Structure 1
Amino acid sequence: MSLLLAWLTGTLVWELVNPVSILHRGIIFVWELIALIFLFDLFVLKNGWCSRLCPVGAFYSLLGKKSLY
């Protein structure tokens, strides 16, 4: 099946489920994402990620607006 899919798609299909490849992509993606967030906060907008773009921060701000305290 993996050879047939590779032939049909023209890609190495089995690399999508290879644990070594998955780990490698995960490490690279996470470091790139952290670097982009850091550079965005450093050069574009101070606390831009946490105060404006982060979904967790947005959720907490909504909770804070309707807080009982």
Structure 2
Amino acid sequence: MDKWTHITIFDKPYPKAKQAEGLAISQAVAGGHCDKCGCFSQCSAQDDFCAPTSAWCMQRKIEILREMEQ
């Protein structure tokens, strides 16, 4: 992860998987990864879009979940 400060605030308690996904998406947006993603047009237009596991944000979600388990 880049060396910059990043803060994500949740409005209520969420399950770990939802927290990890929120953090990953927030980091993807802030880090410019969404601009390079082939799913960006669908993701930014559809509220119910589920990114494929190959997307940067979903790979990051997996990493965050692993870190939460440690």
Query: Normalised by the size of structure 2, how large is the TM-score?
Result: 0.31
Give the structure, 1 or 2, with the largest relative contact order (CA under 8 Å, sep 6 or more): 2
Which protein has the bigger helix share?
A: 1
